[in-house]
Amino acid sequence: MSARGLLHNGDYLKLLTGQTISSIGSAMSSFVFTLLGLAITGSPVQAGLVGTAAALGSIIAALPGGALADRWSRRRILIGYSFVGAVLFGSVAVAGWLGKLTLPHLLLVGLVNGAGYAMFMPAESGALREIVAPEDISTALAAAHGRQNVSALAGAPLGGLLYSVSRAIPIAADAVSYLLMAVMLSTIRHPLPAAKPEGDAHEPLLKAIRSGLTWLFRQRDLRTIAVTATLLNFAANGTILVLILSMQQRGVRPSVIGLLETAMGVGGLAGAFAAPRLLAKYSTGKITIVGAWVVTVTFSATAASTLPAVLIALPAIAVFLLPALNSGLFGYQMLITPNHLQGRAQSAFMFMSNSAAPLAPFLGGVFLGTLGARTALLVFGALLAVGAVLLTISSSIRSIPLLSEVEAA
């Protein structure tokens, strides 16, 4: 697990660079979309619907998206999604400048972009496995998490700063970032064709989806992780939304609220640098269990304070082990999955693990409005604890080995 091979892999560097640029733009728009929803409606519940729309789009398109990602050219999917994103977020920026932005517009953009992302992710994973050698997979995935945290580090505060100048500017910047990603992806030399399916190349879509689900359900460890992750992702996303909206309700400046995402970016970036060493020393199963408990304890502790400094620091601690946890799990899944099932297996995994995600922003707003911030955070903390316990008592999770010991399919 060395970065040396990756530094000499031109196609990988182009993929990483394009996604980094776009991720910074997406971090800005994701943060600003919630603020826009609240500014337009004045309601935390309706503001939560903006995040719900994006998550719902991803869930609806997850299974067919994975099947199509195995059937269509991965290059065309990656580049096509980039251009679609530029158009979607460009339309929001234009509407904002004209003073015509509405909540339905935000919901539609979130829904369509979420659906496109559901196809982009399995195509990107398949492309990564084609471009990167098996021994470099874990390092490449850790770098991807580092990229995401750099984006959070720069994107949220930059988005908050630009939002204070004009609501449309951060969204326009995201549209430009999608165009830049399209340019970088188009320069990748590797052909990145569709996966070669076994049997009939024109397998019916429903049958293709079923084959991905069937394969995943036969893997006891992956099945356990996917089911448990449903609960953990729901509670974690709800916690973050409650923290953001509650701080805004208390009159905390957007630039300060943006530091929440920045702090998480710092914690995640530090974790991304540590991830290769952690994965080389500790089994993926152990990292998964410990990481789940760290998230549970720190996120639950946010209910004990209203000080912005405390609410910013605790999530930063929470996410430190997530790069190693996610790199280990996704690397494990990627290595044991046959190439012709990469898209379907990942989409099935993401569908299961994120099936409750559309409810998190909405219920987070409901809990905040009806129960108050402290009780809402405690409810989500209790759900996190249930998920951590389920992982801890699972023998299949505890037995997942070092990533270096996993034989690639």
Span 261-310, pLDDT tens digits: 778 878 888 998 898 889 888 999 999 999 999 999 999 999 998 888 89
How many Å from the N-terminal Cα to the C-terminal Cα in the chain? 18
Its CATH architecture, for the domain 4-186+203-405, is: Up-down Bundle (1.20)
Q: Are 238 and 371 in contact (CB under 8 A)?
A: no
User: Where does the pLDDT of residue 78 fall: very low under 50, low under 70, confident under 90, or very high at 90 and above?
Assistant: very high
Question: DSSP letter at 400?
Answer: -
Q: Which pLDDT does position 198 carry in this prediction? A: 45
Tokens of 54: 């994006």
Question: Quick check: pTM over 0.95?
Answer: no
Question: DSSP letter at 167?
Answer: T
More confident residue, 317 or 211: 317
Task: Report H helices in 305-394.
Answer: 308-318, 322-336, 342-353, 359-371, 373-392
Residue type, 97: W
**Torsion 83-87-90-92 (CA) sign:** negative
Predicted confidence (pLDDT) per residue in 206-256, tens digit: 888 888 888 888 888 888 988 898 899 899 989 988 998 888 888 888 778
User: Where does the pLDDT of residue 171 fall: very low under 50, low under 70, confident under 90, or very high at 90 and above?
Assistant: very high
**Torsion 130-118-318-329 (CA) sign:** negative
Instruction: Please check the confidence at residue 196 and state whether its pLDDT lies above 70.
Output: no
Q: Which pLDDT does position 163 carry in this prediction? A: 85
Rounded to the nearest integer, the mean pLDDT of the chain is 86
More confident residue, 106 or 141: 106
Residue type, 104: P
Instruction: Please check the confidence at residue 173 and state whether its pLDDT lies above 60.
Output: yes
Q: Which pLDDT does position 197 carry in this prediction? A: 53
From the number of C-beta atoms within 10 Å of its C-beta (0-12, 13-18, 19+), residue 335 rates as: middle
In 173-202, which positions are buried (b, 16+ CB within 10 angstroms) versus exposed (e)? bbbbbbbbbbebbeebebebebbebeeeee
